[in-house]
Amino acid sequence: MKRRVVITGIGLLTPLGVGVDESWSALCAGISGIGPITRFDTTDFQTKIAGEVKHFNPEDFLSRKDAKRTQPFIAYALAASRMAMEDSGLIIDEANRDRVGVLTGCGLGGLSLLEDTCEVLRTKGPNRVTPFFIPTMIGNMAAGMISIQFGARGPNASVATACAAGSHAIGDAYKIIQRGGADAMITGGVESVISPSCVAGFGAMKALSTRNDDPEKASRPFDRDRDGFVVGEGSGILILETLEDALERGARIYAELIGYGMSGDGHHMTAPPEDGDGAVRCMSAALADADLSYDQIDYINAHGTSTPLNDLYETRALKAVFKDKAPSIPVSSTKSMTGHLLGGAGGVETVITTLTLSHGIIPPTINLDNPGEECDLDYVPNVARKTDVRTAMTNSFGFGGTNASLILKKYTM
C-alpha cells in the first residue's frame, strides 16, 4: 500500500513579509508586495518594478560569517527551512538522519553572482574570481546547504524546471516518501533573481508588466488590462512526512498531500498551447493520482501569471478539466500580490494552499477590475473569501512546456 504523506511544518519568505504570519495576513488583506526595484539602477529598463523581499536579515538565520558569503537564494531557502523545521518540531538525529531528505526547486540559482563574476573576470582577470563562485551559484546548493544545516542525509536533489520547479520538487518528494525511499522530506522552492540580466531578458521577451507608475496594480491576473508578469523572490518550504510518524510524535498536521500530476506540452519554448492541452493532462493526472473526480475539488490556486496568453489558456484548461463545475470552483492567483517567484512559485503557492485548507480562507486575486475575454470563472476578485475548503489543487506551468499540479486535502483519519 502507498504510504500516506502529510504536511507538518511550513516556512514562508515573500515580498509580503518574513515568516508565515506576515505573508498570510497580507494575502488575506489583499495587499500587494510589488514596488520599485532597489537592487540596481533601472534608468534604461522598460520595467522598473518587482516583488523584492524586504526587511530580511540573513544573520537572523545564519552566522555572521555564513551570512556574508551565502547567496540570497540559498539564504532564503535556509531561512524558510528553519521556519518549517521549527514549526514541525521534527528532530533529525542519528536514529533518523538517513531517512530524512531534501528536495528543492530553483530556476536560475545565483544569477546575480554570475553577473558580478563575469564583470570581475572581464575587468580584473581570472585570478580575481572568488573560489566560492561555483559552489554558491549552482541551483542545487539550496538543497545541499539545507541538508548540511540540519544533518539530513536521505535523498538530496534539486529540480530546475523553470516556473514549475517548486511544485515538481514537492511532488517528487511526496512520491519518494510514498514509495518508502524516505520517511520525511524538507521540500519546496526558492528564487532570487531580481537582477539586470533577468529583468532585461524577460523584458526583451515582452513578458513583463511595464506599469511602473502604479506598481501595486501591475500584477493583475485574468484582468482585461494585464500586460505581463512581475518578477518576485522568496521561498516556500514544507516538511512532509509519513502519517504514521507524524501521529507517533504528536505532530500538528496541516494537510495531507494526495495527488501529483506532471506533463509536457511538446508545443513551444515559452507559449502554452491555445487549448491548454498540457495543463489539462497535468491536472487530470493529479486527479487520477488522488483517485478523485473533477467535482471533488473545492479551490484551485492557479498559475495565473498576469500574462495575456497564460491566463486565457489556463482558464480554457480549467473549463476542460472541471466541465460543468468549473464556474462554481473558486480560483485565485496569489501572484497578484507576490509577483511571480519563478522556480520558487510552486513552493510558496503550496504553502499558501496549505494555509487555505487550514484556515478556511481563500486569498483573493487582487487588481481584477474587468475580467479579460473568456476569463469568466470565479477568480475571488479583490476580497478574501471565508469558506470551508476540504480539497484543493495548485498549478505551476513552466517554460519549455513543463507542468505540475498538486492536490492537498484536509487531514482526516
Residues 228 and 276 occupy one common structural domain? no
Question: For 158-168, what is the mean pLDDT?
Answer: 98
Rounded-to-integer distance, Cα 49 and Cα 212, Å:
6
Given 206, 226, 248, the domain boundary residue is 248
Residue 320 domain flag: yes
Question: What is the per-residue pLDDT for 157?
Answer: 98
Q: Is the pLDDT of residue 27 over 80?
A: yes
* CA gyration radius, the chain: 20
Residue 226 domain flag: yes
Mean of the per-residue pLDDT values for the chain? 97
Catalytic, 303? Answer: yes
For 146, counting Cβ atoms within 10 Å of its Cβ (0-12 exposed, 13-18 middle, 19+ buried), the class is buried
Residue 253 domain flag: no
In DSSP terms, 102 is beta-bridged to 156, 186
Give me the number of domains the chain comprises.
2
Residue 103 domain flag: yes
Give 195's contacts (C-beta < 8 A, 6+ positions apart).
Answer: 39, 40, 111, 112, 115
- Give the percent of the chain with pLDDT over 90: 97
Residues 222 and 330 occupy one common structural domain? no
Rounded-to-integer distance, Cα 138 and Cα 104, Å:
13
Rounded-to-integer distance, Cα 332 and Cα 395, Å:
11
Tell me which of 28, 168, 198, 303 is the catalytic residue. 303
Q: What is the pLDDT of residues 323-365, one digit of tens each?
A: 999 999 999 999 999 999 999 999 999 999 999 999 999 999 9
Q: How confident is the model at residue 392 (pLDDT cuts 50, 70, 90)?
A: very high
Give 248's contacts (C-beta < 8 A, 6+ positions apart).
Answer: none
Residues 374 and 401 occupy one common structural domain? yes
Q: Which residues of 39-62 are buried (b: 16+ CB within 10 A; e: fewer)?
A: eeebeebebbbbbbbeebebeebb
Strand 234-242 and strand 5-14: the pairing is antiparallel
Spatial contact of 352 and 334, defined as CB atoms under 8 Å apart: yes
Q: Which of 313, 376, 305 is nearest to 336 (CA)?
A: 305
Catalytic, 163? Answer: yes
Q: Which of 211, 396, 367, 226 is nearest to 308 (CA)?
A: 226
User: Cell numbers 511550513 label which residue?
Assistant: 10
Residues 210 and 244 occupy one common structural domain? yes
Residue 71: how many other CB atoms lie within 10 Å: 22
Question: For 353-381, what is the mean pLDDT?
Answer: 98
User: Cell numbers 521561498 label which residue?
Assistant: 235
Residues 140 and 195 occupy one common structural domain? yes
Q: What is the pLDDT of residues 292-325, one digit of tens each?
A: 999 999 999 999 999 999 999 999 999 999 999 9
Q: How confident is the model at residue 413 (pLDDT cuts 50, 70, 90)?
A: confident
CATH of the domain at 362: 3.40.47.10
Residues of the domain holding 150: 5-248
Given 248, 274, 297, the domain boundary residue is 248
Catalytic, 168? Answer: no
Q: How confident is the model at residue 387 (pLDDT cuts 50, 70, 90)?
A: very high
Residue 230 domain flag: yes
Rounded-to-integer distance, Cα 199 and Cα 213, Å:
17
Question: What is the per-residue pLDDT for 253?
Answer: 98
Q: Which of 393, 163, 161, 199 is nearest to 286 (CA)?
A: 393
Q: Is the pLDDT of residue 62 over 80?
A: yes
Q: How confident is the model at residue 69 (pLDDT cuts 50, 70, 90)?
A: confident
Tell me which of 163, 198, 282, 375 is the catalytic residue. 163
Spatial contact of 238 and 9, defined as CB atoms under 8 Å apart: yes
Spatial contact of 405 and 395, defined as CB atoms under 8 Å apart: yes
Residue 357 domain flag: yes
Residue 85 domain flag: yes
Tell me which of 106, 168, 198, 340 is the catalytic residue. 340
- Secondary element (H or E) of residue 186: strand 184-191
Q: Which of 94, 90, 137, 91 is nearest to 112 (CA)?
A: 137
Question: What is the per-residue pLDDT for 149?
Answer: 96
In DSSP terms, 155 is beta-bridged to none
* pTM of the entire predicted model: 0.97
Q: Which of 267, 270, 297 is nearest to 283 (CA)?
A: 297
Residues 231 and 263 occupy one common structural domain? no
Residues 95 and 163 occupy one common structural domain? yes
Rounded-to-integer distance, Cα 139 and Cα 186, Å:
16
Give 21's contacts (C-beta < 8 A, 6+ positions apart).
Answer: none
Question: What is the per-residue pLDDT for 109?
Answer: 94
Q: Is the pLDDT of residue 1 over 90?
A: no
Q: Is the pLDDT of residue 199 over 90?
A: yes
